[in-house]
Amino acid sequence: MSLPMLRIGLFGFGTVGQGVWKILQSQSQSLQNRTSREIQIEAIYVRDVGRYKIQYPELPFVNSPDAILNNPDIGVVVEVMGGENPAKELVIQSLRKGKRVVTANKELLGKHKSELFHEASLHHSDIYFEAAVGGGIPIIRSFKVGFSANSIQSFFGILNGTTNYILTKMSETEGQSLASVLSEAQSLGFAEADPTMDISGADVAYKLTILAAVAFKIDVGISDIHFEGIESIDSDDIAYARQFGYEIKLLAMGKQLDANSFVLKVHPTMVPIHHPLASVRDEFNAVFLTGDSVGEAMLYGKGAGSLPTASAVISDLIDIAFEGQGPGSARNLETNYRKVAVEKIEDQETRFYLRLNIQDIFGVLEKIAAVFGTNHISLANLIQKERDESTAQLVIVTHKVPEKNMQNAIVQLKQLVEVLSVQSVIRVGLD
Ligand SMILES: NC(=O)c1ccc[n+]([C@@H]2O[C@H](COP(=O)([O-])OP(=O)(O)OC[C@H]3O[C@@H](n4cnc5c(N)ncnc54)[C@H](OP(=O)(O)O)[C@@H]3O)[C@@H](O)[C@H]2O)c1
């Protein structure tokens, strides 16, 4: 028996929107065979209809969102315009009209998921967001369904293709600076013209709040999360990391300490070379997780791009097509995310890598060692390398130490006249 056609409205028709249209075109018959429903784009809202009509004269562009919001035949909207506004208002309006919402917008969900989920449940609708984290990797569905028998103990994610591409290229081309790899990445289309959200770690922090919700059923905002970007990573750090047996990756980490306490953070991390995440290269994404029943598992794939991201959007449309026209699916809609404590970064313990520029004079190492001693920091590795006649680079890897001890030590190191600069501080390992 054939079900009624699923009519969708698109907000936005850029990289992802066009990918959605392409897949719906190329897979139309197989999608229909699978779901017993035809999926059709009924209207596409863009700002400048004329511009899009030149390239796609046959498509149903509209120049007002009302043409989608007020069309009762449109049961599903796909928000692929990005940004906070007007996306937020359009999503809320759609939910209030009982339309299901599919979105790829991590910023919107990262900032407003509680409010949006609440609206969805009030109006017996639903929000689907497989494309918001990990692009084509079905990570949301994996946490919600595939691993649902598990209590998730931890996950570690490489969730930003741009920064992973940059770190990979810096590691492959000895000595190339972040700025030069970034401009190369921009010319190849792997990085945005304004890469601030990517480089600063904010993009990953938004994604981490979404993964924390589906993995741990908790409600955290970006302000609860300590995040750092890759701005200060230098080619020297990458070379030393390799020498010590690590690759530097920008990692999102989620760890359950007990029922009400979690570690959630984003920062560059030295990942042991033999760990599966160390081999995730270029623009690829991956999530490595540990569940109490499944043990360790890893999902890997393209975290961005037109068709990979559209593939995730379409998977949400297929879910909706299967569910028919009833109220929101109990499986997808979860509004009971708990507010919990996120452990402060100062209270965590980790190993550290430090790179200092120092005066190459007698007695300097004793003074530096005294700072570490005072702060109960013990050293695992130390390399001193002459830079010129009067200065040297000192590279140190510590044993596990409380963050606050290391922060104190850094302040004290900066006060030593013999320490010219603390160039890099990078956390080591996944514990
Ligand atoms: N690109 C990826 O690989 C990727 C991966 C994962 C998630 N995402 C997410 O997917 C969403 C879309 O990304 P994208 O790369 O497809 O963006 P994009 O290429 O910049 O396209 C955005 C589209 O939305 C339209 N739009 C933007 N603001 C609008 C407004 N105020 N009113 C009407 N139309 C507006 C744009 O129209 P104009 O042409 O008129 O500006 C364009 O058609 C974002 O939330 C992004 O974070 C993207």
Pocket lining: 48 vs ligand 1, CB cutoff 6 Å:
yes
Which residue in 4, 140, 14, 26 sits closest to 78, CA to CA? 14
Cα-Cα-Cα-Cα dihedral sign, residues 337, 341, 343, 346: positive
For ligand 1, pick from 80, 90, 159 the residue to mutate: most ligand atoms within 8 Å of CB.
Answer: 80
Residue with tokens 């511009």: 51
Query: To which H or E segment does residue 102 belong?
Result: strand 100-103
Q: What is the pLDDT of residue 341?
A: 87
Q: Cα 214 vs. chain centroid, distance in angstroms?
A: 14
User: β-strand 152-158 against 246-258: which pairing, if any?
Assistant: antiparallel
Regions in the chain scoring below 70 on pLDDT: 1-2, 324-335
Torsion of CA 254, 258, 261, 263, to 10 degrees: -20
Q: What is the pLDDT of residue 189?
A: 76
Pocket lining: 15 vs ligand 1, CB cutoff 6 Å:
yes
* Token representation of residue 58: 């046959």
Q: What is the pLDDT of residue 325?
A: 47
Find all residues with CB under 8 Å of 17, minimum gap 6, and list them.
10, 44, 78, 80
Torsion of CA 407, 410, 415, 417, to 10 degrees: 180
What is the whole-number distance in angstroms between the Cα of residue 104 and the centre of ligand 1?
Answer: 9
**Rounded-to-integer distance, Cα 239 and Cα 43, Å:** 52
What is the whole-number distance in angstroms between the Cα of residue 18 and the centre of ligand 1?
Answer: 10
* Token representation of residue 355: 């790179």
Pocket lining: 157 vs ligand 1, CB cutoff 6 Å:
no
For ligand 1, pick from 45, 78, 81, 89 the residue to mutate: most ligand atoms within 8 Å of CB.
Answer: 81
Catalytic residue at 207? yes
Pocket lining: 401 vs ligand 1, CB cutoff 6 Å:
no
What is the whole-number distance in angstroms between the Cα of residue 68 and the centre of ligand 1?
Answer: 17
Measured from the CA of 85, which atom of ligand 1 is nearest? 31
Q: What is the pLDDT of residue 188?
A: 81
What is the whole-number distance in angstroms between the Cα of residue 317 and the centre of ligand 1?
Answer: 18
> What are the start-end ranges of the E strands in 220-370?
226-227, 246-258, 261-272, 284-291, 295-302, 341-342, 349-359
Choice among 106, 111, 207, 255 that is catalytic:
207
What is the whole-number distance in angstroms between the Cα of residue 79 and the centre of ligand 1?
Answer: 9
Pocket lining: 309 vs ligand 1, CB cutoff 6 Å:
yes
**Rounded-to-integer distance, Cα 411 and Cα 422, Å:** 10
User: β-strand 152-158 against 284-291: which pairing, if any?
Assistant: antiparallel
Cβ(162)–Cβ(181) below 8 Å: no
Pocket lining: 59 vs ligand 1, CB cutoff 6 Å:
no
Calculate helix-pair angle for 202-216, 106-122, nearest 10 degrees.
40
Mean pLDDT across the chain: 93
Find all residues with CB under 8 Å of 423, minimum gap 6, and list them.
232, 234, 236, 355, 356, 357, 393
